[in-house]
Amino acid sequence: NSNARTFDYQGGDVGYIPPSYGHYVENTGNTTLHYLEILKTDKFQDVSLNQWLALTPPALVQAHLDVSDETISHFSKTKPIIVGQ
């Protein structure tokens, strides 16, 4: 059994994500989001859930997430590069 949580932040808020917890940030407002991530490590590693699922055997993804072959076919084996403005 797993849990997911959503937090709504306002300007000036600070959030904390425990080490090794998967997370993502989405700006749902209409103003610019300034996001600073601080890590206590000597290297940063980005993991794309889309890429990870695409590289996992489809039978495992279907068994655990109950998704269709069509959905799996849309997963990308390459990670997109995201560049802010």
Can you tell me the mean pLDDT for 60-66?
91
Provide long-range contacts, Cβ within 8 A and 24+ apart, for 76-80: 76/50, 76/51, 77/51, 78/51, 79/46, 79/48, 79/50, 79/51, 80/48
Which tens digit of pLDDT belongs to each residue from 28-39? 888 888 888 888
Evaluate whether 79 touches 48 at the Cβ level (below 8 Å): yes
Please state, for a pLDDT cut of 70, what percent of the chain lies above it.
Answer: 93
Query: Which of 13, 26, 37, 66 is an active site residue?
Result: 37
37 catalytic per annotation: yes
Question: Has residue 85 got a pLDDT over 70?
Answer: no
0.85 surpassed by pTM: no
Question: H/E/C letters for each residue in the chain?
Answer: CCCCCCCCCCCCCCCCCCCCCCCCCCCCCCCCCCCCCCCCCCCCCCCCHHHHHHHCCHHHHHHHHCCCHHHHHCCCCCCCCCCCC
